[in-house]
């Protein structure tokens, strides 16, 4: 879920705590950091996925996360995250969440936009282990698992529920208690089964850091694709 080279670099560089984080609700993701994730693939002859393949547009009322913005033969992964640093993050219960919506419906009919996943999570890095929870909404319309919601276990994904793909607003809420080693994952008011995940990392900065993150992965293009659709998700009303 979070083994991302760019993400490691950002954390290792001591990402500063931006002003404005608090218990109140925030409309868009202004002030968040955006990086390329590890859920990437480049078809034969395509350059590797880079920052030029992802984008975030802050609209005041919401932010639009976009992956594979150049419609290349790649699968691109956009991550936007906010962090809080300091040892106290491992001693307190973290509660956060956000609303998200697809601006289009993924379909086997094809078109300029399609999807692989929408994801999000809340984690606390203790200097050696990443503690937390996350969800993945499967949106590749060619998969039998289309619409399934998965939960992160620490090294893989496990089935956790189902959300009918649509263009309505949905809300996810996370709770991570690193003292009692418990988590809660709630989607549209319904608690989903999710384990307390522990993910070892190599090469991460030793600074204790909590992160709230929203993500989107564009459609897998195929081994020899020269073109693939863009993927978009709207995110708003985040709390932490």
Contacts of 90 (CB under 8 A, 6+ apart): 124, 126, 131, 178, 179, 208
At 10 the pLDDT is: 42
**pLDDT for residue 23:** 57
**How far apart, in whole angstroms, are the C-alpha atoms of residue 90 and residue 142?**
40
Q: What is the mean pLDDT of residues 159-186?
A: 98
CA distance linking residue 48 with residue 38, whole number of Å: 11
Better-scored residue on pLDDT, 12 or 121: 121
Which residues fall within 8 angstroms of residue 97, CB to CB, at 6 or more apart?
A: 171, 172, 173, 174, 186, 238, 239
- Backbone conformation region of residue 11, classed left if phi is above 0, alpha if psi is from -120 to 50, else beta: alpha
Q: What is the pLDDT of residue 166?
A: 98
- pLDDT higher than threshold 60 for residue 2: no
β-partners of residue 198 are 131
Predicted TM-score (pTM) of the model is 0.91
Comparing 230 with 25, the larger pLDDT belongs to 230
What are the extents of the domains in the chain? 5-13+26-239
Confidence at residue 11, expressed as pLDDT on a 0 to 100 scale? 42
- Tokens 């962090």 locate to 83
CA distance 164 to 187: 12
pLDDT recorded at residue 7: 44
pLDDT for the residue 24: 76
Q: What fold characterizes domain 5-13+26-239?
A: Jelly Rolls (2.60.120)
Can you tell me the distance from the alpha carbon of 148 to that of 52, in angstroms, rounded to the nearest whole number? 30
pLDDT, tens digit, for every residue of 25-64? 899 999 999 999 999 999 999 999 999 999 999 999 999 9
Burial class (CB within 10 angstroms; exposed 0-12, middle 13-18, buried 19+) of 202 = exposed
Question: Considering the chain, what is the average pLDDT of its residues?
Answer: 92
């Amino acid at each position: 879920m979070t083994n991302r080279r760019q993400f490691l670099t950002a954390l290792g560089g001591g990402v500063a705590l931006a002003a404005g984080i608090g218990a109140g609700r925030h409309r868009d993701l202004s002030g968040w950091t955006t990086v390329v994730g590890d859920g990437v693939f480049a078809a034969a002859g395509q350059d590797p996925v880079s920052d030029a393949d992802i984008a975030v547009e802050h609209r005041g009322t919401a932010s639009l996360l976009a992956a594979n913005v150049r419609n290349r033969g790649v699968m691109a992964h956009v991550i936007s995250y906010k962090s809080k640093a300091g040892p106290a993050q491992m001693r307190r219960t973290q509660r956060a969440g956000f609303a998200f919506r697809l601006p289009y419906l993924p379909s086997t009919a094809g078109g300029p936009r399609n999807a692989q996943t929408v994801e999000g999570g809340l984690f606390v890095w203790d200097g050696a282990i990443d503690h937390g929870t996350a969800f993945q909404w499967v949106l590749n319309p060619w998969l039998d698992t289309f619409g399934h919601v998965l939960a992160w276990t620490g090294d893989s994904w496990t089935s956790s529920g189902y959300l009918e793909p649509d263009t309505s607003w949905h809300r996810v809420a996370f709770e991570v208690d690193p003292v009692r080693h418990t988590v809660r994952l709630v989607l549209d008011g319904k608690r989903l089964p999710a384990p307390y995940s522990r993910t070892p990392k190599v090469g991460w900065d030793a600074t204790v850091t909590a992160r709230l993150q929203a993500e989107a992965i564009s459609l897998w293009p195929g081994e020899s694709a020269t073109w693939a659709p863009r993927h978009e998700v709207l995110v708003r009303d985040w709390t932490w």
